[in-house]
Structure 1
Amino acid sequence: MLGFALAYHRHWGNFWWWGMAMGRWAWGAFAVVMAWGSAAAADTIRLRADDWCPYNCTEAKMGYGVELATEIFAAAGHDVQYQLTPWSRSLEDCLRGEVEAVIGAAPVDSPDLVFGAEPIGVWDSTFVVRTGVSWRYDGVASLEQIKLAAIIGYIYMEPVGGYIDAHKKDRKRVDLIGGTAPLDQSLKMVAAGRIDATLESRSVLEYKLREMGLADRLELAGGTESGPIYIAFSPLQAKARDYAAILDQGIRAMRASGRLKQILDRYGVRDWK
Structure 2
Amino acid sequence: MKICLLSIVFILSSFPAWAGPTIYVSIDEWCPYICLNKEHTGLAADAPGYYVDIIDAIFPPRGYDVEYVVRPWKRALQETRSGALNAILSPAKEEAPDFIFPEEELAHLCWCFYTKNRTWTFRGIESLNNQIVGYLEGNHFNNELDAYLRRNRNNPQKVQAVHGLNFLDINKNKLLQGRITVFIEESATTDHYLAEHGLDEAVVKAGCIGCWHMYMAFSPAHEESAEYAAIFSSGLRELRRSGQLDEILSRYGLKDWRD
Bucket of the pairwise TM-score, normalised by the shorter protein:
0.7 to 0.9
Give the alignment partner of residue 73 of structure 1, picking from 56, 59, 62: 59
Name the one with the larger helix percent: 1
- Residues 190 and 112 of structure 1: CA distance in aligned 2, closer, same or farther (over 3 Å): same
Measured after TM superposition, the shift of residue 163 of structure 1 is 1.3
For 1:218, the equivalent position in structure 2 comes to 203
What is the alpha-carbon distance in structure 2 between the residues aligned to residue 51 and residue 178 of structure 1? 12
Asked whether 1:258 is paired with 2:236, we answer no
For 2:34, the equivalent position in structure 1 comes to 56
Q: TM-score, normalised by structure 2?
A: 0.85
What is the alpha-carbon distance in structure 1 between the residues aligned to residue 169 and residue 243 of structure 2? 32
Deviates more, 1:244-253 or 1:45-54: 45-54
Give the alignment partner of residue 133 of structure 1, picking from 118, 136, 150: 118
Asked whether 1:45 is paired with 2:30, we answer no
For 1:172, the equivalent position in structure 2 comes to 157
For 1:120, the equivalent position in structure 2 comes to 106
What is the alpha-carbon distance in structure 2 between the residues aligned to residue 143 and residue 55 of structure 1? 29
Matches within 5 A, 1:3-22: none
Could you tell me which runs of 5 or more consecutive residues in structure 1 were left unpaired when the two chains were aligned.
Answer: 1-40
Give the alignment partner of residue 96 of structure 1, picking from 58, 82, 87: 82
Measured after TM superposition, the shift of residue 188 of structure 1 is 2.5
- Residues 171 and 159 of structure 1: CA distance in aligned 2, closer, same or farther (over 3 Å): same
What is the alpha-carbon distance in structure 1 between the residues aligned to residue 190 and residue 216 of structure 2? 20
- Residues 269 and 193 of structure 1: CA distance in aligned 2, closer, same or farther (over 3 Å): farther
For 2:40, the equivalent position in structure 1 comes to none
What is the alpha-carbon distance in structure 1 between the residues aligned to residue 120 and residue 162 of structure 2? 22
For 1:152, the equivalent position in structure 2 comes to 137
Matches within 5 A, 1:236-255: 236-255=221-240
Measured after TM superposition, the shift of residue 208 of structure 1 is 1.5
Measured after TM superposition, the shift of residue 150 of structure 1 is 0.7
What is the alpha-carbon distance in structure 1 between the residues aligned to residue 155 and residue 254 of structure 2? 36
What is the alpha-carbon distance in structure 2 between the residues aligned to residue 50 and residue 156 of structure 1? 18
Which consecutive aligned stretches of 4+ in structure 1 deviate over 4 angstroms post-superposition?
Answer: none
CA RMSD of aligned residues (A): 1.5
Could you tell me which runs of 5 or more consecutive residues in structure 2 were left unpaired when the two chains were aligned.
Answer: 1-18, 37-42
> Percent identity, aligned pairs only?
31
Measured after TM superposition, the shift of residue 159 of structure 1 is 2.2
Measured after TM superposition, the shift of residue 204 of structure 1 is 1.6
Q: How many residue pairs are counted as aligned between the two chains?
A: 232
* Counterpart contact for 1:127–1:200, Cα < 8 Å: yes
SS of equivalent residue, structure 2 residue 254: coil
Measured after TM superposition, the shift of residue 158 of structure 1 is 3.5
Measured after TM superposition, the shift of residue 205 of structure 1 is 1.6
Which structure: larger Rg? 2
Measured after TM superposition, the shift of residue 201 of structure 1 is 1.7
* Counterpart contact for 1:105–1:231, Cα < 8 Å: yes
